[in-house]
Amino acid sequence: MNDFKHSNTNKRYHTLDYYFKNKFLSKVARVPINAGLTCPNINGVKGFGGCTFCNVKGSGDFAGSPVEDLLDQWEKGKTRLQSKWPDAKFIAYFQAFSNTYAPLDVLQEKYQVFLELDECIGISIATRPDCLEEETLDYLEQIAKEKFLIVELGLQTIHSKTEKIINRGHDLEIFDWAVKVLRKRNIDVVVHIINGLPGETHQMMLDTAKYIGKMDIQGIKIHLLHVMDQTELVNQLNNGFLKLLTQEQYVDLVVEQLEYINQDIVIHRLTGDAPMDIFIGPIWSKKKTITVNEIDKKMNIEQTYQGIKLKKENYE
């Protein structure tokens, strides 16, 4: 046991499990949903092909089929998760593509399914910061008053040079705006960042974590860049432009990133998963549990914890 205030285990960071168990007095799992939407960076409004790391499923690798009924996806996903956590409560996680990128009536039809479902305790919506129309924001504000709501924003990096390399299609300014307008409506925000993007140094990745670690956000997902088949990253890896992080590099980086993130921000992820049928590398990341254990081990050895350097900076 350690003295980190947001932990009841050996973790030295604010885990999602700890947050949910305190909020809902239960284990909470997210059921991935594919709402059959698309993305402005795929259909030509902002660009074609999407971000270079995004595969044909729009990062919704574990969501259902877009042609499958939403409630059928829910039941299948819930049943699968219940086999692991029989007493868990469940949140609908709109995962694939950009889930606010549609006319309001379309969004209402898809969200309403889960707003009316008593066994669904909340909704998590993954989207882009440039896909938030005013009427959509107003509707999300209304949802947040009725049910637990998270809006997840894909930032990945604060660096404009990298943004162009990965074909993200939006700048840091629109991300800052999105966080501001969502928080003005008391909507919880979770931000995604990716470590290991092409051309980024340790310091660049650390600077991204420092930037968002001071923001008024409620959660962070830290991802390792996974190279998957049928993405532009394969070409960049083959021609030597992309260098994959080693496990040691990744562990060292994440531990340092956590030190600059406000303690009240929930750490939703420390790495990620990729579908094995299209996964190329880094090979070591297949064993996700080992990576997380190495992060825990390093933090324990160094007697460090989430936010320790942020606190020192603020004090100085």
Domain membership flag for residue 166: yes
Domain membership flag for residue 110: yes
Helices (H) and strands (E) in the chain, counts: 11, 9
Domain at 20, CATH number:
3.20.20.70
Domain membership flag for residue 136: yes
Domain membership flag for residue 11: no
Q: How confident is the model at residue 166 (pLDDT cuts 50, 70, 90)?
A: confident
Asked whether the CA dihedral 155, 161, 162, 168 is positive or negative, the reply is positive
Q: DSSP letters of 246-287?
A: PHHHHHHHHHHHHHTS-TTSEEEESS----TTTEEE-GGGG-
Q: Measured between alpha carbons, how far is 274 from 196 in angstroms, rounded to an integer?
A: 15
Domain membership flag for residue 123: yes
Split into its structural domains, the chain has a count of 1
Domain membership flag for residue 43: yes
DSSP-derived pairing of the beta strands 219-224 and 227-228: unpaired
Asked whether the CA dihedral 254, 285, 293, 13 is positive or negative, the reply is positive
Q: What is the pLDDT of residues 13-64, one digit of tens each?
A: 999 999 999 999 999 999 999 999 988 777 666 656 666 777 554 444 455 6
Q: What is the pLDDT of residues 136-146, one digit of tens each?
A: 999 999 999 99
Q: Measured between alpha carbons, how far is 218 from 262 in angstroms, rounded to an integer?
A: 10
Please state, as a whole number, how many other Cβ atoms lie within 10 Å of the Cβ of residue 229: 13
Q: Report the pLDDT value the prediction gives residue 142, as an integer from 0 to 100.
A: 97
Distances from the Cα of 150 to the Cα of 2, 156, 277, angstroms: 29, 18, 30
Domain membership flag for residue 112: yes
Asked if the model's pLDDT at residue 190 lies above 90, the reply is yes
| Domain membership of residue 27 as a residue range | 16-315
**What is the mean pLDDT of the segment spanning 120-124?**
97
Instruction: Please give the residue that has the higher pLDDT: either 92 or 311.
Output: 92
Tokens of 73: 């996806």
